[in-house]
């Protein structure tokens, strides 16, 4: 089963300010992701540029979608990066997420973990998904 | 006991057990003893943690506790017999490294030795002195952290059978005095082949179960993927390790498309390619790219991965580059000749040059008689005969194949083709 560890954005990430290259967060993140890779758990990981460089499409009843340019206001609900892992149980995902380094040193920040749908979630008799 | 704590402990154990067993084995020089000591540690954690609460760093706690048990064990042994003088020297060396703050000690151990210890454990569990079945069971147990019951369920075997197989494997290793070390240069390729074979067999058992009602056992595929990725992390410049990795990633990308909604198998050319997993394909292609950068001759796994990649790159089945696939099979027949490879090559030739050319090659295999018990031979032959319009002969071949397979899902598919 797959889980996405989502680093939620904050004012710093939304401002597009990267920490200085000698910030220990880079080494911590690299060490953690190396450990994930060596445990055979890591599928993918990336940081996302701020929403000022992105856009949204808004769909309203039958009309063509409207393009809304970033940045977006609700900073804490935005995503600054993700790490996708494949593990054998929910508890393993929990344990790995506990070891995730605090993404913004000295600042309040949150990491959210979500499970991905798997093909079997869409098989007959297990309706309830999208 | 609180179910939640038990689940957490089990999860931590699964994440850490291979590293712990590997580290302990370096101290005890015996994977069987190492595993028992590690298990004892797990039991004591399961007894203590529900009342005392989880330690801050459960993984570090388990590692240190297991290491201490191992040192006690070795000390007792050394006192007992004084038979291994070198062991004593080893022990001194070990003790010199013991740091009172175990977290620091653990981090230090992580940084240098754990990778090598894990490799030693993989090579020991897959030692050619063991039968394939024993290697597989021991690998799933020691590297996968699977319980005997889980292995038994995956292989549809009785639990005592698997337990016995593991016990016997450990005894065999001890009796053969298999050292806990990386293989010496002259045995390196044979030993590595033995490791890769085990991982691929586990994958295949999950991908296309040899018996039973379910055609797929995804948990075994995932376990093999994980082991292949672990090995690639430990040996990133070994072309065949990358090759196996690419092969299992690309094959696993098709898992969701390999069965229809009723669980019936769907063959490669009929699969809905939009259900292939692009992330796994990309990972497989990336591993192949790294092999190309190594500029080494392609081995059997890399060649099979390159064939799988040809299918992965074709958006529609009709886009498949069959000439390239035939060329890759030609190379595979050179480096790893086998009747099964010849049969697969015949299929590729039939796609590139027409069914008659494929049938001629298949008939050579039938005449050679080496694949008499392989149900895919009549199945392929039936397919080619059907394409040539020889319906009655085709039906007979499908019925013959159906009678030969032990997998219920495959049998139904073949019988359906015989009727059509």
Query: Tell me, what's the pLDDT at B15?
Result: 92
Specify the higher pLDDT residue, B295 or B212. B295
Tokens 């198998």, located at residue: B265
Four-point Cα dihedral B285, B288, B294, B295, nearest 10: -120
Longest dimension (CA), chain A: 53
Secondary-structure percent of chain A, ordered helix, strand, coil, rounded to 5 = 30, 25, 45
Q: Average pLDDT, stretch B46-71?
A: 91
Residues of A in contact with B11 (CB under 8 A): 89, 91-92, 94-95
State yes or no: pLDDT of B109 exceeds 50. Answer: no
Rank B84-88, B134-138, B210-214 by mean pLDDT and report only the highest.
Answer: B134-138
Distance CA B414, CA B405 (A): 9
State yes or no: pLDDT of B78 exceeds 90. Answer: no
Query: Tell me, what's the pLDDT at B241?
Result: 97
pLDDT digits (tens, 9 = 90+) for A53-102: 999 999 988 889 999 999 998 888 899 999 999 999 999 999 999 999 99
Closest-CA residue of chain A to B11: A92
Q: What is the pTM of this model?
A: 0.87
A89/B14 touch (CB, cutoff 8 Å), yes or no: yes
Q: Average pLDDT, stretch B215-226?
A: 84
Sequence length of chain B is: 420
Å from B220 to nearest chain A CA? 11
State yes or no: pLDDT of B176 exceeds 50. Answer: yes
Query: Tell me, what's the pLDDT at B211?
Result: 53
Distance CA A73, CA A78 (A): 9
| DSSP symbol at A125 | T
Nearest to B229 among A40, A92, A94 (CB): A40
Residues of A in contact with B234 (CB under 8 A): 38
CB B48 within 8 A of CB B2: no
Query: Tell me, what's the pLDDT at B148?
Result: 92
State yes or no: pLDDT of B102 exceeds 50. Answer: no
Query: Tell me, what's the pLDDT at B277?
Result: 95
Distance CA B130, CA B48 (A): 37
Whether the CA torsion B337, B343, B349, B351 is positive or negative: it is negative
Closest-CA residue of chain A to B218: A1
The number of beta carbons lying within 10 Å of the beta carbon of residue B26 is 22
CA atoms within 13 A on the CB side of B296: 17
Q: Average pLDDT, stretch B402-414?
A: 88
pLDDT digits (tens, 9 = 90+) for B157-170: 899 999 999 999 99
Nearest to A94 by CA among B44, B104, B58: B58
Closest-CA residue of chain A to B233: A38
B275/A94 touch (CB, cutoff 8 Å), yes or no: no
Specify the higher pLDDT residue, B3 or A5. A5
Helix (H, G, I), strand (E, B) or coil at A66: strand
A92/B15 touch (CB, cutoff 8 Å), yes or no: yes
State yes or no: pLDDT of B256 exceeds 90. Answer: no
Residues of B in contact with A94 (CB under 8 A): 8, 11
Q: Which residues pair with A68 in a beta bridge?
A: A56
Residues of B in contact with A95 (CB under 8 A): 8, 11-12, 15
CA atoms within 13 A on the CB side of B61: 17
Tokens standing for residue B124: 């020991």
pLDDT-derived band at B156 (thresholds 50, 70, 90) equals: confident
Tokens standing for residue B79: 């006192």
Query: Tell me, what's the pLDDT at B121?
Result: 96
CB B64 within 8 A of CB B72: no
Which residues does B400 contact at the CB level (< 8 Å), separation at least 6?
B378, B382
Query: Tell me, what's the pLDDT at B328?
Result: 98
pLDDT-derived band at B1 (thresholds 50, 70, 90) equals: low
CA distances from B109 to A26, B171, B183, B230, B386 (A): 22, 29, 22, 18, 62
Nearest to B190 by CA among B255, B126, B276: B126
Which residues does B258 contact at the CB level (< 8 Å), separation at least 6?
B207, B215, B216, B265, B266, B271
Helix (H, G, I), strand (E, B) or coil at B174: helix
The chain A residues in contact with chain B (CB within 8 A) are 37-44, 84, 86, 88-89, 91-92, 94-96, 119, 123-124
A40/B7 touch (CB, cutoff 8 Å), yes or no: no
Nearest to B323 by CA among B346, B355, B349, B299: B349
Query: Tell me, what's the pLDDT at B100?
Result: 39
Helices B188-207 and B218-234 meet at what angle, rounded to 10?
150
Q: Average pLDDT, stretch B266-283?
A: 94
Distance CA A87, CA A17 (A): 32
B7/A89 touch (CB, cutoff 8 Å), yes or no: yes
B14/A94 touch (CB, cutoff 8 Å), yes or no: no
Tokens standing for residue B23: 């580290």
CB B244 within 8 A of CB B227: no
State yes or no: pLDDT of B116 exceeds 60. Answer: yes
Mean pLDDT over each residue of chain B, to the nearest integer: 89
pLDDT-derived band at A125 (thresholds 50, 70, 90) equals: very low
Å from B213 to nearest chain A CA? 17
pLDDT digits (tens, 9 = 90+) for A2-24: 999 999 999 989 999 888 888 99
Structural Rg of chain A based on CA atoms: 17
Helix (H, G, I), strand (E, B) or coil at A55: strand
pLDDT digits (tens, 9 = 90+) for A90-100: 999 999 999 99
Which residues does B210 contact at the CB level (< 8 Å), separation at least 6?
B406, B407
Residues of A in contact with B222 (CB under 8 A): 86, 88
Q: Which residues pair with B407 in a beta bridge?
A: B212
Residue-wise DSSP of A86-108: E-SSHHHHHHHHHTSPPSSTTS-
pLDDT digits (tens, 9 = 90+) for B350-394: 999 999 999 999 999 999 998 988 999 999 999 999 999 999 999
φ, ψ for residue B100, nearest 5 deg = -55, -45
Q: Which residues pair with A57 in a beta bridge?
A: A67
Query: Tell me, what's the pLDDT at A130?
Result: 41
Query: Is B60 an interface residue toward A (CB < 8 Å)?
Result: no
Q: What percent of chain B has pLDDT over 90?
A: 69
Size of interface A-B (CB pairs under 8 A): 55
B225/A44 touch (CB, cutoff 8 Å), yes or no: no
Peptide bond into A71 cis (omega under 30): yes
State yes or no: pLDDT of B267 exceeds 90. Answer: no
Query: Tell me, what's the pLDDT at A124?
Result: 52
Q: Average pLDDT, stretch B237-257?
A: 96
Query: Is B55 an interface residue toward A (CB < 8 Å)?
Result: no
Query: Is B236 an interface residue toward A (CB < 8 Å)?
Result: no
């Amino acid at each position: 089963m797959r889980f996405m560890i989502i680093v939620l954005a904050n004012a710093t990430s939304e401002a597009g300010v990267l920490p200085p290259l000698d910030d220990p967060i880079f080494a911590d993140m690299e060490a953690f992701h190396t450990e994930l890779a060596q445990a055979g758990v890591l599928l993918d990981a990336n940081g996302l540029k701020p929403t000022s460089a992105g856009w949204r499409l808004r769909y309203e009843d039958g009309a063509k979608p409207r393009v809304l340019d970033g940045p977006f206001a609700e900073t804490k609900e935005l995503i600054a990066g993700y790490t996708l892992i494949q593990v054998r149980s929910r508890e393993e995902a929990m344990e790995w997420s506990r070891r995730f380094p605090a993404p913004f040193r000295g600042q309040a920040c949150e990491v959210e973990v979500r499970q991905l749908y798997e093909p079997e979630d869409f098989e007959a008799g297990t309706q309830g998904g999208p | 006991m609180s179910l939640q704590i038990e689940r957490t402990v089990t999860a931590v154990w699964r994440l850490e057990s291979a590293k712990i067993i590997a580290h302990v084995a370096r101290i005890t020089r015996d994977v069987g003893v190492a595993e028992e000591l590690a298990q004892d540690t797990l039991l004591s954690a399961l007894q203590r943690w529900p009342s005392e609460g989880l330690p801050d760093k459960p993984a570090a706690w388990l590692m240190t506790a297991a290491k201490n048990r191992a040192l006690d064990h070795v000390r007792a042994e050394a006192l007992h017999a004084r038979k291994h003088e070198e062991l004593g020297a080893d022990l001194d060396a070990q003790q010199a490294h013991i740091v009172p703050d175990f977290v620091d000690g653990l981090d230090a151990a992580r940084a240098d030795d754990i990778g090598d210890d894990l490799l030693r454990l993989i090579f020991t569990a897959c030692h050619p002195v063991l039968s394939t079945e024993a290697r597989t069971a021991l690998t799933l147990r020691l590297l996968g952290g699977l319980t005997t019951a889980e292995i038994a369920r995956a292989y549809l075997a009785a639990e005592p059978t698997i337990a016995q197989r593991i016990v016997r494997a450990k005894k065999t290793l001890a009796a053969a005095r298999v050292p806990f070390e990386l293989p010496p240069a002259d045995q390196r390729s044979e030993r590595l082949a033995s490791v890769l074979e085990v991982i691929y067999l586990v994958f295949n058992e999950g991908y296309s179960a040899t018996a039973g009602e379910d055609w797929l056992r995804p948990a075994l595929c995932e376990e093999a993927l994980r082991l292949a990725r672990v090995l690639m992390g430990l040996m990133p410049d070994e072309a065949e390790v990358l090759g196996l990795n690419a092969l299992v990633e690309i094959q696993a990308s098709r898992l969701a498309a390999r069965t229809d909604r009723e669980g019936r198998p769907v063959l490669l050319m009929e699969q809905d390619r939009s259900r292939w997993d692009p992330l796994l394909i990309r990972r497989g292609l990336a591993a192949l790219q790294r092999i190309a950068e190594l500029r080494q001759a392609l081995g059997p796994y890399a060649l099979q991965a390159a064939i799988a990649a040809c299918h992965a790159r074709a958006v529609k089945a009709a886009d498949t580059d069959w000439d390239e696939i035939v060329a890759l099979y030609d190379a595979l027949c050179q480096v790893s000749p086998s009747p099964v490879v010849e049969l697969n090559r015949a299929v590729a030739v039939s796609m590139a040059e027409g069914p008659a050319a494929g049938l001629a090659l298949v008939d050579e295999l039938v005449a050679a008689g080496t694949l008499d018990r392989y149900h895919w031979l009549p199945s392929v032959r039936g397919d080619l005969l059907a394409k040539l319009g020889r319906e009655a002969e085709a039906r007979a071949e499908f019925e013959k194949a159906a009678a030969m397979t032990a997998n219920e899902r495959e049998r139904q598919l073949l019988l359906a083709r015989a009727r059509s």
